[in-house]
Amino acid sequence: MGAFGRVAKWVLIVGGAVIVVLIIVAVLVVLEAVEESEQSAAQVDPAKFRALRGGESKAEVRAALGEPEDRSPKAVEGFGSLRCWYYGLLADKTYEVCFQGERLAFAVRL
């Protein structure tokens, strides 16, 4: 085996090791995201969620449910453009709370 063969062999070994490390890091990141999502869903008291009523302010919803895991815009027929908060996106229980302007439009468990 010539010098080129030995270099190619080491490039493949190092490249394979890098790929294995990247896969491990990706798995750890996903597991951490799932754990954070489970915590986000667990912070929601089901009784407080059921007690939410349309027209409540963002501050009132935040006081009842805590900080959301994620926020994103959403277009819903009949409601138009909404801003939705999510609790437990990767959890078994996902809660969606959507606002029209500064007021609660609806809240659902997905």
> Is the whole-model pTM more than 0.85?
no
Instruction: Tell which residue, 85, 87, 89, has the closest CA to residue 100.
Output: 85
- Please tell me the predicted confidence (pLDDT) of residue 11: 81
Q: What are the extents of the domains in the chain?
A: 3-109
Q: Using pLDDT thresholds of 50, 70 and 90, give the confidence band for residue 76.
A: confident
58 φψ region: left (φ > 0), alpha (ψ -120 to 50), beta (else) = alpha
Which residues have a Cβ under 8 Å from the Cβ of 28 and sit 6 or more positions away?
none
- Please tell me the predicted confidence (pLDDT) of residue 105: 95
Architecture of domain 3-109: 2-Layer Sandwich (3.30)
